[in-house]
Chain A
Amino acid sequence: MPALALQTFRLSKHFGAFTALDQVSLDVRPGTVHALLGENGAGKSTLVKCVVGYYRADEGAVLIDGRETAIPSPTTARALGIGMVYQHFTVVPGMSVAENLLLARGRVPARIDWRAVRAELEAFMATTPFRLDLDARPLELASGEKQKLEILKQLLLRPRLLILDEPTSVLTPQEADEVLGALRERAHSGDCSVLMITHKFREVSAYADDVSVLRRGRLVCSGSVADSSPQLLAQAMMGEGRVAPVTVGRLQVAAPGAVRLQIEGLRVMGDRGEEAVRGLDLQVCSGEIVGVAGVSGNGQREFMQALVGQRPRLAGSVTLEGRPFHARRAENRSQRVRSLPEEPLLNGCVGELSVADNMALREFDQSPFAWAGWVRWRRLAARARAWIEEYGVKTQGEGAMIRTLSGGNVQRAVLARELSGEADLLLVSNPVFGLDFAAVAEIHGRLLAARDAGCSVLLVSEDLDELLELSDRIVVMSGGRIVFQTPARDARRHELGAWMGGRHETAAAPQERAA
């Protein structure tokens, strides 16, 4: 049978004085889907990185098919048939999708016959649920598309053990179902074993055979999914005595107020020289959450970037409280605009700066944190410590480089900066990308609280469930335009899905349905 059996034996890993993994003994049976759960910073990524040789474990061993095997580098892992989809994207951003796939496949011939390679890649792509433009560069792709590229890269290798580190965090639930369904089928037919890290209990109960839970670097439970329940798993993740917060209701206290953000005829250029946003009109009122649904790659990324000032606007007007808004720093401050960009490590942080410095980015030159041109670092550090406490950011201290934080904790650090204090407008993209369930509930609660306090929230998300749960009004973006809008309480999933899938191309007058 080609599927591999993987065991780790008392694997430990330290970063300086910090123990990220503490004697973890995991057992993945061949031909099964094994889910790995744990809070943000529990050590899940560290564990799988040790298995594939990205990190070297300080103690313990990895057993493949029962034999102790040294895996000093990812090349060795690949040669053994172990494929890994990393949590942070490892695509080469400046090289085309075709080049990325070829590099990942390995066995790059000394001279490349692109015609043959492309034909082969096209044929391969046709056997998968994904479609990607072979000439696009990841630099220009949305996170959902990048994630698909990551998974494609691994499928191309026909791995015997596939490790996925939060593969579905940026996929829509439908896409996730397709991917996980396909993987489970492969596993059960004995082609490969799957080890999957996730934060979603739904995926665990629907697709996994076995499940293990890590807490603070220790394996706290491991067993068959049939014998577990989301409650038990949640308890194992959080530990005794810590109860998981309940999701706040989405009931709106007051009707939305006056229009605050008004976007008219917005047009934005994409990276490939085509218009990504083509005449977009949208209004957001005070005390309202407007959710933007859409399949990734339909201009949401460019739309958000244009709003927060990362990308020039070609045409159209954006006004905030009747005044033109260009997202300059001073405007953001006086009009109280905050944003949570997607991939916060890239778009909302300076990776090489400390957590405290990153938390200070908005206000380091403002009183009370600056005085006559001098920055009061001590005050900033004190506030950073308070935020780290309040938002539960797991870090080795406020002076640690933010790059070294786990994926979810980077997100929390940025959230702390953007959500604290009063905001009038929040521009949010995929806010819970990679957060554990407790953090998701907490963040959602904070967004709803902001809304109830009168803030306007524009929420772009590829997760329809999240939009349905939070939004007051949902708009669907497709082909760079808003093609449909509806109050969230009347929204029907299949209808939204149809619009997301591009129904407007056949529909006669899409805007007629608009409220």
Chain B
Amino acid sequence: MSAQAWLDVLIAVIGGAVRVGTPFLFVSLGECLTEKAGRINLGLEGVLVLSAMSGFGAAWLSDSVWIGVLCAGLAGAALALVHGVACSLPRVNDVAVGIGIMLLGTGLAFHLGKPLMEPQAPQIPSLALGGWSNSAAVQAALRINVLFPLGVALAALLQWGFANTRWGLLVRMVGDSADAARALGTSVNGVRIAATVAGGFIAGLGGASLSLYYPGSWNEGLSSGQGLIAVALVIFARWSPLRCLAAALLFGGAGAIGPALQSVGVGGAYYLFNALPYALTLLILVLSCSPTRSARGAPLELGVSR
């Protein structure tokens, strides 16, 4: 394989990291916010699928992609609200509710999305960052979803906000010790519901970037478990929004290696390459795991059985 081919693979992987990583980024940021408040929302898979469908439907009906994006976020927030409220009832387990929400969200999306298989909706515009190059491959790879920079900004904002704002401190307090929060008179359930809903909205933006950005259509196989993987990414990122960004890009890039290699003619182990992101994640999880370091940043209320 020539140097040029390697370069093409590299560029395709970078492009893929951004393209595939964008939905992961939003879902993992949403999950990060939820988990910081002390709840696990496994339902984000359902949120992702439902918001992808709603966003697509709204964009198609209104003929405006931004209304679509907004509706995707709102649909995500609405479904997350169900999770947040249900988990606030006594003796309700958030993981179990999450699985219920996941099934509800996907089922609802498949049912309501039947008429949306055919039509074409407006697309989220892209930023052409490859203008400096005259290679078509580079230009294609560096044409990125405008939601991506938004996600990067959001990650930075969350990172900063957790440490430097009232809301950030409240969310972390509730996630760290419900008892302490109660003693200070903070409504634990209130903060958790708010964080879950905001997380659902953010994850909904991920849904929009699934259905409203290239290739941009609605079908039932759109997500294939990305919402669940994002939950793992958050753990992998040790509950830090900026590391969520890195993890999403890494995961997206690893996912692009298979197709990129195939496009330059290395197609032998196609399915093996498709498993690469998962293998990579596992490997890094194992390597980065240490009994002393892992504790920092993990919300202590997580995993407390109720």
B89: Cβ under 8 A from any A Cβ: no
**Residues on A with beta carbons closer than 8 Å to the beta carbon of B224:** none
Q: Which residue of B166, B295, B299 contacts A108 across the interface (Cβ within 8 Å)? A: B166
Tell me if B173 and A103 are in contact (CB < 8 A).
yes
Interface flags for B156-167 (1: CB within 8 Å of A; 0: not) read 000000001111
How many Å lie between the Cα of A271 and that of B296 in the bound state?
A: 10
Q: Which residue of A103, A104, A106, A114 contacts B164 across the interface (Cβ within 8 Å)? A: A114
Interface flags for A78-107 (1: CB within 8 Å of B; 0: not) read 100000101010111111000100111010
Q: B175: nearest residue on chain A (CB-CB)?
A: A94
Chain B nearest CB, measured from A244 CB (Å) = 33
**Residues on A with beta carbons closer than 8 Å to the beta carbon of B297:** 94
How many Å lie between the Cα of A50 and that of B163 in the bound state?
A: 33
Tell me if A90 and B183 are in contact (CB < 8 A).
yes
Q: Which residue of A54, A76, A114 contacts B182 across the interface (Cβ within 8 Å)? A: A54
**Residues on A with beta carbons closer than 8 Å to the beta carbon of B166:** 108-112
Q: A108-B169, A111-B165 are in contact. Are A94 and B176 (CB under 8 A)?
A: yes
Tell me if A74 and B164 are in contact (CB < 8 A).
no
Tell me if B292 and A95 are in contact (CB < 8 A).
no
Q: A103-B169, A108-B169 are in contact. Are A74 and B183 (CB under 8 A)?
A: yes
B192: Cβ under 8 A from any A Cβ: no
Q: A76: nearest residue on chain B (CB-CB)?
A: B185
How many Å lie between the Cα of A54 and that of B181 in the bound state?
A: 11
B300: Cβ under 8 A from any A Cβ: yes
Chain B nearest CB, measured from A154 CB (Å) = 11
Q: A110-B166, A111-B164, A112-B164 are in contact. Are A91 and B185 (CB under 8 A)?
A: no
**Residues on A with beta carbons closer than 8 Å to the beta carbon of B300:** 93-94
Q: B167: nearest residue on chain A (CB-CB)?
A: A110
**Residues on B with beta carbons closer than 8 Å to the beta carbon of A65:** none
Tell me if B177 and A74 are in contact (CB < 8 A).
no
Q: How large is the interface on A (under 10, 10 to 19, 20 to 34, 35 or more residues)?
A: 20 to 34
**Residues on A with beta carbons closer than 8 Å to the beta carbon of B176:** 92-95
Tell me if A74 and B185 are in contact (CB < 8 A).
yes
B39: Cβ under 8 A from any A Cβ: no
Tell me if B179 and A88 are in contact (CB < 8 A).
yes
Interface flags for B187-214 (1: CB within 8 Å of A; 0: not) read 0000000000000000000000000000
Tell me if A95 and B185 are in contact (CB < 8 A).
no
How many Å lie between the Cα of A349 and that of B175 in the bound state?
A: 22
B1: Cβ under 8 A from any A Cβ: no
How many Å lie between the Cα of A78 and that of B186 in the bound state?
A: 12
Q: B293: nearest residue on chain A (CB-CB)?
A: A273
**Residues on B with beta carbons closer than 8 Å to the beta carbon of A88:** 179
Tell me if A94 and B169 are in contact (CB < 8 A).
no
Q: Which residue of A74, A86, A94, A271 contacts B299 across the interface (Cβ within 8 Å)? A: A94
B184: Cβ under 8 A from any A Cβ: yes
A73: Cβ under 8 A from any B Cβ: yes
Tell me if A54 and B183 are in contact (CB < 8 A).
yes
**Residues on A with beta carbons closer than 8 Å to the beta carbon of B61:** none
**Residues on A with beta carbons closer than 8 Å to the beta carbon of B83:** none
**Residues on A with beta carbons closer than 8 Å to the beta carbon of B186:** 75
> How many pairs of residues, A versus B, come closer than 8 Å at their CB atoms?
75
Q: A94-B172, A110-B166, A112-B169 are in contact. Are A78 and B295 (CB under 8 A)?
A: no
Chain B nearest CB, measured from A45 CB (Å) = 12
Chain B nearest CB, measured from A23 CB (Å) = 26
How many Å lie between the Cα of A41 and that of B175 in the bound state?
A: 30
How many Å lie between the Cα of A77 and that of B291 in the bound state?
A: 40
Q: A139: nearest residue on chain B (CB-CB)?
A: B295
**Residues on B with beta carbons closer than 8 Å to the beta carbon of A75:** 184-186
B133: Cβ under 8 A from any A Cβ: no
**Residues on B with beta carbons closer than 8 Å to the beta carbon of A92:** 172-173, 176-177, 180-181
Chain A nearest CB, measured from B294 CB (Å) = 12
Interface flags for A262-285 (1: CB within 8 Å of B; 0: not) read 000000010100000000000000
A113-167 contacts to B, CB under 8 A, are: 114, 139
Chain B nearest CB, measured from A269 CB (Å) = 7
How many Å lie between the Cα of A368 and that of B172 in the bound state?
A: 46
Q: A140: nearest residue on chain B (CB-CB)?
A: B295
Q: B299: nearest residue on chain A (CB-CB)?
A: A94
A495: Cβ under 8 A from any B Cβ: no
Q: Which residue of A99, A104, A111, A139 contacts B184 across the interface (Cβ within 8 Å)? A: A104
How many Å lie between the Cα of A106 and that of B305 in the bound state?
A: 30
How many Å lie between the Cα of A90 and that of B178 in the bound state?
A: 9
Among B172, B181, B184, chain A packs the most CB atoms within 10 A around the CB of: B184
Q: B187: nearest residue on chain A (CB-CB)?
A: A73
Chain A nearest CB, measured from B179 CB (Å) = 6
Tell me if A73 and B164 are in contact (CB < 8 A).
no
Chain B nearest CB, measured from A73 CB (Å) = 5
A352: Cβ under 8 A from any B Cβ: yes
**Residues on B with beta carbons closer than 8 Å to the beta carbon of A76:** 185
**Residues on B with beta carbons closer than 8 Å to the beta carbon of A73:** 185
**Residues on A with beta carbons closer than 8 Å to the beta carbon of B173:** 92, 95, 103
Q: Which residue of A86, A90, A99, A271 contacts B169 across the interface (Cβ within 8 Å)? A: A99
Among B176, B182, B299, chain A packs the most CB atoms within 10 A around the CB of: B176
How many Å lie between the Cα of A431 and that of B247 in the bound state?
A: 46
How many Å lie between the Cα of A75 and that of B183 in the bound state?
A: 8
Chain B nearest CB, measured from A156 CB (Å) = 12
How many Å lie between the Cα of A239 and that of B169 in the bound state?
A: 47
Chain B nearest CB, measured from A417 CB (Å) = 22
**Residues on B with beta carbons closer than 8 Å to the beta carbon of A108:** 166, 169-170
Chain A nearest CB, measured from B79 CB (Å) = 28
Q: Which residue of A86, A94, A111, A114 contacts B183 across the interface (Cβ within 8 Å)? A: A86
Interface flags for A304-323 (1: CB within 8 Å of B; 0: not) read 00000000100000000000
How many Å lie between the Cα of A10 and that of B177 in the bound state?
A: 33
Among B176, B180, B182, B296, chain A packs the most CB atoms within 10 A around the CB of: B180
How many Å lie between the Cα of A342 and that of B239 in the bound state?
A: 30
Q: Which residue of B182, B184, B291, B296 contacts A103 across the interface (Cβ within 8 Å)? A: B184
How many Å lie between the Cα of A90 and that of B176 in the bound state?
A: 11
How many Å lie between the Cα of A84 and that of B183 in the bound state?
A: 9
**Residues on A with beta carbons closer than 8 Å to the beta carbon of B180:** 90-92
Among B166, B182, B291, B298, chain A packs the most CB atoms within 10 A around the CB of: B166
How many Å lie between the Cα of A73 and that of B183 in the bound state?
A: 9
The chain B residues found within 8 Å of chain A, CB to CB, are: 164-167, 169-170, 172-173, 176-177, 179-186, 291-292, 295-300, 305
Q: Can you list 10 A-B pairs with a CB-CB distance of less than 8 A?
A: A74-B182, A88-B179, A90-B183, A92-B176, A93-B176, A94-B177, A103-B170, A103-B173, A106-B184, A110-B165
Q: Which 3 A-B pairs have the closest CB atoms?
A: A75-B185, A74-B185, A90-B183
Known: A94-B297, A103-B184. 4 other contacts (CB 8 A): A54-B182, A78-B185, A92-B176, A94-B172
